[in-house]
Amino acid sequence: MELDAKIPEGPIAEKWDQHRFEMKLVNPANKRKHEVIVVGSGLAGASAAASMAELGYDVKCFCFQDSPRRAHSIAAQGGINAAKNYQNDGDSVFRLFYDTVKGGDFRSREANVHRLAQVSVNIIDQCVAQGVPFAREYGGLLSNRSFGGAQVSRTFYARGQTGQQLLLGAYQALQRQIGAGKVKMVPRSELLEIVIIEGAARGIVVRDLVTGEISSHCADAVCLATGGYANVFYLSTNAMNSNVTATYRAYKKGAFFANPCYTQIHPTCIPVSGDHQSKLTLMSESLRNDGRVWVPKNAGDTRPPDRIPESERDYYLERKYPSFGNLVPRDIASRNAKEVCDAGHSVVPGGHGVYLDFADAIGRLGQKTIEERYGNLFEMYERITGDNPYRTPMKIYPAPHYTMGGLWVDYNLMSTIPGLHVLGEANFSDHGANRLGASALMQGLADGYFVIPYTIGHYLATSKLEKVDTGHAAFRDAEREVREKTDRLLEIRGRRTVDDFHRELGRIMWNNCGMSRNKAGLEKALEEIPRLREEFWKDVRVLGASESINQSLEKAGRVADFLEFGEILCHDALDREESCGAHFREEHQTEEGEALRHDEDYTYVSAWEYKGVGNAPALHKEHLEFENVHLATRSYK
Amino acid sequence: MKLKLHIWRQTSQDAPGAFADYELDDVSPDMSFLEMLDVLNERLILDEQEPVVFDNDCREGICGACGMVINGHPHGPQKLTTTCQLHMRKFRDGDELWIEPWRAKAFPVLRDLMVDRSALDRIIEVGGYVSVNTGGVPDANAIPIGKGVADLSMDAAACIGCGACVAACPNASASLFTAAKITHLGVLPQGEIERNTRVQEMVAQMDEEAFGHCTNHGECDAACPKGISVDFIARMNRDFVRGVTREPITR
Amino acid sequence: MRRVLTLYSTTIGKKVVMAVTGILLVGFVLGHMIGNLKLYLPAHDGMAAIDHYGEGLRSFGAPFLAHGQFLWIARSVLILAVGLHIWSAISLKVRSNAARPIAYKRVAYEDSTLASRTMIWGGVLLLAFIVFHLLHFTTGTITPGFDFEHGAVFANVTGGFSNVGVAIFYIVAMVALAMHLYHGVWSMLQTLGANHPRYNSWRKKLALAIAIIVAVANISFPVAVLTGLVG
């Protein structure tokens, strides 16, 4: 199958405007006749559902949480980028575009990224109009900070709770439409199947997580905004219930999964404290603006930090990357932490932690300023670890955080299944091989507020969709499959818990397909995963019934999908014989240990097609053209 | 450390509930409270018993999904801390813990420690927003907002909607939750336009949802993991009287 | 059916009624206390100071008002205020009881006070006290141990408080009143939205001051009579 990204013609800066003009419109009177399903209520889902309902579409929105306000977008701390150039420091749409393509290590689609940079300015306007209380200067204008390696201040923030505030803005817009009767919200329900009729996505099958009822819902188009898959690693900064099920079921129905190996490891998380660890907590990257990362120069030095003199400390990021120092991109910061810890310089028992020290910043700016900037983060750190970071350095270690890969979509955010649109982290489109800090919120909202409301209209206006209802055989079949799978999980009654399997899968993935990867490790993982999966289907223990609240059953379904999906991730990592962005193949590095790209062979998007459980997926390539950004080796020295 | 747990078990909304007793032996002080329950659940499953059901998601104290009353304290004894962020080092070896769901008529128990808090969404639904559609809005810097006002708004907007205020209130009132949203939007110029009507809609809905009323005990403020102040309730009351007298609504 | 949302149809509206009637009642309590303090002033013109005061209340507003009219106007307003206060309290209490059908096994209070949690019971006690007080000193219906004489305030007070049981009941009632005022005054300001960062910290102090002043002054009367300081 030929992948057509449907990138509009014309100069990069005019593509989106031109495309908006060329897209077909749906007659306002007809919009209410079109039903659209949105799955997920995070930044992308909520903003899409609200915006489409405002336009007049008949929207049904699903989420597995008890309220749309709880989607995991809420946990983003740092901020949201926008090319407003309010600080007069040389920012522009083109610079944000350029930085994002470069930050993605030249593995993203130029046209999408440029559009993202263009609409970034509208997002801030929209959010302020909704009452999002962004930080402000004394003069009353919006405050910005520099974030995650950017050399301009373009990040808007609301204390350390930017994701929360943006999500509440979108949630409130969504609630308004629910109140107006334009959106039917279905919380506590989980997508378990996507229904394709005559080649187009026409609905979904969900399980009501309270009653266990399996029900079908049909529509003219389906939008998945179901987030990323970092929980394939078991321990990640994602919420406990974040999962790959929706996108994976779409993949099994024919949607291509693109670039699954691009998984971002966040450099500043709280280290693992023991076997009981259920998730990892991220400390905002903004901390690196004022904190200095270091380890003892001597391996195995177990002295407390205040007993290690300056001369015996290794500020390894400042040493290796003098111009960016502690603000190098996430992948570089993460890999360097792993490197020093593997060399025995870890500052925590277990061998996985480095210091993030604020002593200098407190000395320079005073504790009050630091408190204003990071007060809530410091409190959170103290609550979790019992250490006070004003007095003793924080201990941090990288953890899986965000997944750039996702379902392949064209410029209109439509997957390879007509009518199935994919938004936010669930798609692959904008971040390439690595995502810049404060860009996830931007992308989620760009897709939801400013892209899908246009492109969905074009799809509906140009498609001939027959009237179908949930009585259609395809829905009956899908429901039956869902029931069978659920029953199977309950009938096994084996010896191991779902979490036990998930933990083991996580270990396999983290050890072999984590921060750095090699052929032997990936091949080993590809042997171990099917074995574990087989054992899962023989030996998992899920108690209770399907007709009531059953959290083990929910988890089991998700882990079953992760156990298949993990393989795709490894296949992709194995295929990509280069290091780029967050994907680091040990075989491909410079003499100094930096990532080495192979642009002649790998300037493409890997889109994988399902070929049956346990079979290697088929690779389709979307070649990436770089007409506006010169392919360069990233250097943060 | 060792713990004796009494956990509320209830199989469904209509079923009667009761406390079940459990003992845990090696609880690490580094565990979060929910990780302690994870350990219990793993053990229960291996013992062929159904695990304890409780809402949780981000485990970072921001999504607002988790929440249980621990020895009478919503979210447990540590101030400004959600259940997921509460760590076992706050307890002592041999402690006896009574773990109950949020109790309020407006929050029916769905199972064990999981309750239905959709009443809070319905309060937002009737007016907890600024009525702007996507697009067509002015430049973000077109209306300067004083830092003090922006900070006050943010203080109120920090609410995570967990419902601990309702759980803590002797009257099971949702006044703090409602007042926080009314303040977040009402103090901003963007939200000022609908200030009079918003407060009336939201208060009327709050009353319809079978929450109790506020008698100014201040328990909500003490239990709130985000430190939302009862001062916002005073502001809501003032706004309400102002709204009713200036721009009465029909409902 | 859509209808105009009235102040009184909502819980906040009922609270506002409680607060406004509360202001009237607090004003009355303070006024009454100041009047009572005349007990300590020396007699003149052959009459106790407090008896002059009593007569003054009856003739207040003359010649516009007839003798005793002011008192009846004041009494009507107070009875109305008490009635509304009680009616709101009961209807809110009924609601609050319904709002938590299953009680917690363990309850740990943080910021609430004994005063705030006993408002309704303190209120019931105060109502009983008011009824007794009226029968005792206003109508002279119940007069254990003394002969009630209309208008002879000083004699009635000293006679009335010479009964130890009655004096103790008054003292207990005044402690209850103090607690009711301590939470009530603060709560009233909160309900009316009288808050501002600059004087918020004073609200509880003001409530405490009013509660203590009223309690100390009013308790001093039976104590003064019993110890022979007055009489």
Task: Point out which residues pair with B13 in neighbouring strands.
Answer: none
Over the stretch C8-63, which tens digit does the pLDDT of each residue have?
Answer: 889 999 999 999 999 999 999 999 999 999 999 999 999 999 999 999 999 999 89
DSSP H or E stretch at residue A384: helix A367-385
CA distance A267 to A328: 10
**Residues in Cβ contact with A517 at an 8 Å cutoff, skipping those fewer than 6 apart:** A261, A573, A583, A584, A585, A586
Mean pLDDT, to the nearest integer, of A430-448? 96
Confidence of residue C4 (pLDDT cuts 50, 70, 90): low
Mean pLDDT, to the nearest integer, of B163-182? 98
Residue B15 within any structural domain of the chain: yes
CA distance B122 to B103: 19
Within this chain, do residues B55 and B124 fall inside the same structural domain, yes or no? no
CA pseudo-torsion sign B145, B149, B150, B151: positive
Confidence of residue C1 (pLDDT cuts 50, 70, 90): very low
Mean pLDDT, to the nearest integer, of A207-212? 98
Over the stretch A284-338, which tens digit does the pLDDT of each residue have?
Answer: 888 998 999 999 999 999 999 999 999 999 999 999 999 889 988 788 899 999 9
Considering only the beta carbons, identify the residue of C13, C98, C119 that sits closest to B105: C98
Choose, out of B26, B39, B63, B194, the residue to mutate when testing the contact with A (most A CBs < 10 Å). Answer: B63
Tell me, what amino acid is at B243?
G
- The per-residue pLDDT for A285 is 82
CA pseudo-torsion sign C213, C216, C219, C223: negative
| Closest to B7 measured CA to CA, from B49, B32, B37 | B37
Residue A466 within any structural domain of the chain: no
Residue A92 within any structural domain of the chain: no
CA distance A622 to A620: 7
A210 in reach of chain B (CB within 8 A): yes
Residues of B in contact with A382 (CB under 8 A): none
CA distance A130 to A120: 16
CB contact under 8 A, A67 and B59: no
How close B65 gets to chain A, by Cα (Å)?
A: 7
Choose, out of B12, B57, B202, the residue to mutate when testing the contact with A (most A CBs < 10 Å). Answer: B57
| Closest to A80 measured CA to CA, from A136, A5, A158 | A158
Nearest 5 degrees, angle CA A515-CA A517-CA A522? 130
CB contact under 8 A, C195 and B6: no
Helix axis angle, A473-492 to A519-539, nearest 10°: 90
Number of domains in chain B: 2
In the predicted structure, residue C2 carries a pLDDT above the cut 70 = no
Give the CA distances from residue B155 to residues A67, A124, A451, B113, in Å, rounded to whole numbers and listed in that order: 22, 20, 32, 29
- The per-residue pLDDT for A328 is 86
In the predicted structure, residue A3 carries a pLDDT above the cut 70 = yes
Choose, out of B81, B244, B245, the residue to mutate when testing the contact with C (most C CBs < 10 Å). Answer: B244
Within this chain, do residues B23 and B84 fall inside the same structural domain, yes or no? yes
Over the stretch A149-205, which tens digit does the pLDDT of each residue have?
Answer: 688 999 999 988 999 999 999 999 999 999 999 999 999 999 999 999 999 999 999
Within this chain, do residues B162 and B197 fall inside the same structural domain, yes or no? yes
Considering only the beta carbons, identify the residue of B69, B211, B248 that sits closest to C4: B248
How many residues are recorded in chain C? 231
Which of helix, strand or coil describes residue B247? coil
- The per-residue pLDDT for C7 is 76
Mean pLDDT, to the nearest integer, of A118-131? 98
Within this chain, do residues B13 and B48 fall inside the same structural domain, yes or no? yes
| 3-state helix/strand/coil string of A561-578 | HHHHHHHHHHHHHHHCCC
Pairing assessment for the beta strands B3-9 and B95-100 based on DSSP bridges:
parallel
Residue B109 within any structural domain of the chain: no
| Closest to A510 measured CA to CA, from A149, A233, A253 | A233
Within 199-238 of B, beta carbons closer than 8 Å to A belong to: none
Considering only the beta carbons, identify the residue of B213, B216, B239 that sits closest to C11: B213
Within 24-43 of B, beta carbons closer than 8 Å to C belong to: none
User: Which domain covers residue A541, as residue numbers?
Assistant: 477-612
CA distance B195 to B199: 6
Which of helix, strand or coil describes residue A422? strand
User: Can you give the CATH number for the domain in which A311 is found?
Assistant: 3.90.700.10
Within this chain, do residues B92 and B168 fall inside the same structural domain, yes or no? no
| Closest to B163 measured CA to CA, from B177, B143, B181, B149 | B177
In chain C, domain spans:
7-97+115-226
Instruction: Show which of A374, A399, A424 is a domain's final residue.
Output: A399
Tokens of A573: 């990592």
- The per-residue pLDDT for C5 is 66
A461 in reach of chain B (CB within 8 A): no
Residues of B in contact with C106 (CB under 8 A): 69, 71-72, 98, 100
Within this chain, do residues A274 and A395 fall inside the same structural domain, yes or no? yes
Instruction: Show which of A378, A399, A420 is a domain's final residue.
Output: A399
Which of helix, strand or coil describes residue C85? helix
DSSP H or E stretch at residue A146: none
CA distance C85 to C16: 10
Give A553 or A1, the one with higher predicted confidence. Answer: A553
Shortest CA distance from B19: residue in chain C: C105
Task: Point out which residues pair with B133 in neighbouring strands.
Answer: none
User: Can you give the CATH number for the domain in which B62 is found?
Assistant: 3.10.20.30
Helix axis angle, C164-191 to C153-161, nearest 10°: 110
Residue A318 within any structural domain of the chain: yes
CA distance A142 to A31: 37
Chains C and A touch (3+ CB pairs under 8 A): no
The domain C7-97+115-226 is placed in CATH, from the list 1.10.10.10, 1.20.1300.10, 3.40.50.20, 3.40.50.720, at 1.20.1300.10
Considering only the beta carbons, identify the residue of B168, B172, B237 that sits closest to C99: B172
Mean pLDDT, to the nearest integer, of B140-153? 97
In the complex, which subunits touch C with 3 or more CB pairs below 8 angstroms?
B
Tell me, what amino acid is at B220?
C
Residue B214 within any structural domain of the chain: yes
Residues of B in contact with A541 (CB under 8 A): 45-46
Instruction: Show which of A379, A399, A419 is a domain's final residue.
Output: A399
| Closest to A143 measured CA to CA, from A372, A326, A319 | A372
CA pseudo-torsion sign A242, A245, A250, A255: positive
Number of domains in chain A: 2
CB contact under 8 A, A240 and B61: no
Which string of DSSP letters, residue by residue, matches A587-617?
Answer: TSB-TTS-B---HHHH-EEEEEE--STTSPP
B172 in reach of chain C (CB within 8 A): yes
Over the stretch A13-30, which tens digit does the pLDDT of each residue have?
Answer: 999 999 999 999 999 999
Q: How many CB atoms lie within 10 A of CB A342?
A: 12
Residue B112 within any structural domain of the chain: no
H helical segments located in B116-214: 118-125, 147-157, 164-168, 175-186, 189-192, 195-208
Within 125-164 of B, beta carbons closer than 8 Å to C belong to: none
CA distance A73 to A96: 22
Residue B229 within any structural domain of the chain: yes
C-alpha neighbours within 13 Å on the C-beta side of residue C78: 15
Tell me, what amino acid is at C183?
H
Helix axis angle, B195-208 to C11-36, nearest 10°: 90
Within this chain, do residues B121 and B95 fall inside the same structural domain, yes or no? no
Within this chain, do residues B92 and B158 fall inside the same structural domain, yes or no? no
Residue A4 within any structural domain of the chain: no
Residue A346 within any structural domain of the chain: yes
Residues of B in contact with A86 (CB under 8 A): 141
- The per-residue pLDDT for A19 is 98
B97 in reach of chain A (CB within 8 A): no
CB contact under 8 A, A84 and B121: no
How close A636 gets to chain B, by Cα (Å)?
A: 32
Residue A598 within any structural domain of the chain: yes
How close A495 gets to chain B, by Cα (Å)?
A: 7
Within 296-315 of A, beta carbons closer than 8 Å to B belong to: none
Within this chain, do residues A390 and A505 fall inside the same structural domain, yes or no? no
Residue of A330, A533, A558, A597 marked catalytic:
A330
User: Which domain covers residue B237, as residue numbers?
Assistant: 117-132+142-246
Q: Yes or no: say if B173 and B104 are a contact pair by the CB < 8 Å rule.
A: no
**pTM of the predicted structure, to 2 decimals:** 0.96
Pairing assessment for the beta strands A292-296 and A313-314 based on DSSP bridges:
antiparallel
Task: Point out which residues pair with B95 in neighbouring strands.
Answer: B3
- The per-residue pLDDT for A375 is 86
In the predicted structure, residue A449 carries a pLDDT above the cut 50 = yes
- The per-residue pLDDT for C197 is 82
Residue A371 within any structural domain of the chain: yes
Which string of DSSP letters, residue by residue, matches A88-134?
Answer: -SS--HHHHHHHHHHHTTT-S-HHHHHHHHHHHHHHHHHHHHHT---
Which string of DSSP letters, residue by residue, matches B52-112?
Answer: PP-----SSS-S-----EETTEET-SSTT--GGG-BGGGS-TTEEEEEE----TTS-EEET
- Let me know if A188 is a catalytic residue: no
